[in-house]
Amino acid sequence: MSARPTIADIARECGVSQSTVSRALRDHPSISEARKRSIRTAAENLGFESRISARTLRGEGSKLVACVVPSLSHPFMSCLIERLEAEGALQGYHLMVANSGGSPNAEKTIVKGLIARQVDGVFFIPSSFESSAFRLCGSVLPTVVVTLQSPEWPSIGTSHEEGGRLVAEHFMESGRTSCLLIGPHDDEKFRGFDAYLDSRKVAGFRVERLVADGWDEGLTATVQANLLENYDARSIRRFDCIFGNNDLAALGALHALQDLGIAVPAGIAVCGFDDSPWARVSRPALSSVAQPVSLMVRSAFALLQRLMTGETIPPGERSYSLKPHLVVRDSTYLGK
C-alpha cells in the first residue's frame, strides 16, 4: 500500500467501490449507517484522516467546492470564476480552482486530487463529455457541468446554437452577404449560424471557415497571424463580416483588419462570443453574444446543492439551456 492512503485503498480494504467510499465519507443518505461507520473506521485506521479534515470523516462536509476550468487567462473564465466565488461565499462555501488547460491528462491528475481531498462538490468544464476523468468525477463526487449542456449530466449551459443564430440574423439584417467564421472545425455556434441561413432559405450568402482553437490570449495573436498570412487587403474584402467563436478570436480578426487598413465596420463587420470585458474596451468596441453568467452561476449552485444533499434529480431538472443575447457595439453597427 502507498505511504499516502487513497480512496482506492479504503475501497479495497472495505470491498466496495470508490464511489461508495466517497459517498460514505460525505454522509450520503444512499449509504447505510453501518456501511458508513465501517468505511470511516477503515479510513481512520489507514491514516486517511491525515489527508482530510476530521470534520469530513464525521460526515459534516468540508464546505469546499472546486471548479475545473480549461483556462485561467480566458476572460470569460475569469468572470465565471469570480461569480462562482462570490456565490459560494454567500452560500458558506470556499471555492478551489483547478486549471486543466483543456488536457485530458491534466484532468485525470486534478480529479484524483479532488477525490482524495473529498471536496463537497465540483463545477466542471470538461475537455469532452467523453473524458474518462470527467466521468470518474461525476460518478464519485457531486458534479455539475457549467457553460455546456448535456441531457446525460447535471449541467447548466448557454445555447450556443441560439447565439450563432442571433449573429447570423444581425448580419443579415445589416445587409451583409459573405461571412468568415473563425473557430474550431465543429462548433455549435456555427451550426446555429448555418441553421438560421437554412431556415430563411437565404440564397447567395457565402460562408467560409478559418479553423482556429484555443482557450487563452495566445488565440488572438494566432488568429491575427493566420489572417495576415492567408489574406491581403484585397482578398480579405471578399468577406463583409467575420464571426469569431469567442471574443479572443474576434479580437484577432479585428487586429488583422486594422493591420490591413480595413475599416470596421464600414468595410467588414466583426462579432465575437462571450461578451468578455475585452469586448467592451477594444476599439472599436466589439459586438458579442452575452451569456447570462449570473443566472448560470446561481442555477449551477442550486443544482449542485441538491446533489450534495443526496437528492435524486428528475431527468427534466438535471440539464438547463439558457438563452444568450446579442450586445451590438461599434464593430458591427453602421448607424442610420
Reference 39, options 5, 4, 8, 14; nearest CA is 14
CATH code, domain carrying 243? 3.40.50.2300
Give a yes or no: residue 217 inside a domain.
Answer: yes
User: Do the Cβ atoms of 165 and 324 come closer than 8 Å?
Assistant: no
Phi, psi of 315 (to 5 degrees): -50, -40
Domain that holds residue 265: 160-291
Give a yes or no: residue 67 inside a domain.
Answer: no
**Cell numbers found for residue 187:** 462548433
> Domain boundary at 59, 78, 108, which?
59
User: Do the Cβ atoms of 262 and 232 come closer than 8 Å?
Assistant: no
Rg (CA), the chain: 23
DSSP bridge partners of 271: 243, 287
Does the predicted TM-score (pTM) go above 0.75?
yes
pLDDT on residue 61: 63
DSSP bridge partners of 321: 157
Give a yes or no: residue 100 inside a domain.
Answer: no
Q: What is the mean pLDDT of each run of 10 residues along the chain (336 residues)?
A: 68 85 75 87 75 50 90 91 94 95 94 91 94 93 94 94 98 97 94 95 90 86 97 98 97 98 98 96 98 96 92 90 98 84
Distances in whole angstroms, Cα of residue 129 to Cα of each of 74, 150, 212, 306: 21, 8, 21, 22
Q: CA 71, 73, 74: angle at the middle one, nearest 5?
A: 70
**Cell numbers found for residue 68:** 475545473
Give a yes or no: residue 13 inside a domain.
Answer: yes
Q: Are residues 164 and 287 both part of a single domain?
A: yes
Give a yes or no: residue 136 inside a domain.
Answer: no
Residues near 139 by beta carbon (within 8 Å), at least 6 away in sequence: 19
Structural domain count of the chain: 2
Give a yes or no: residue 53 inside a domain.
Answer: yes
Give a yes or no: residue 221 inside a domain.
Answer: yes
183: left (phi over 0), alpha (psi -120 to 50) or beta: left
- Residue 148 and residue 165: Cα distance in Å, rounded? 17
DSSP bridge partners of 164: none
> Domain boundary at 11, 31, 59, which?
59
CATH code, domain carrying 17? 1.10.260.40
pLDDT on residue 188: 94
Q: Are residues 51 and 170 both part of a single domain?
A: no
Give a yes or no: residue 187 inside a domain.
Answer: yes
Q: Are residues 48 and 164 both part of a single domain?
A: no
- Residue 78 and residue 69: Cα distance in Å, rounded? 10
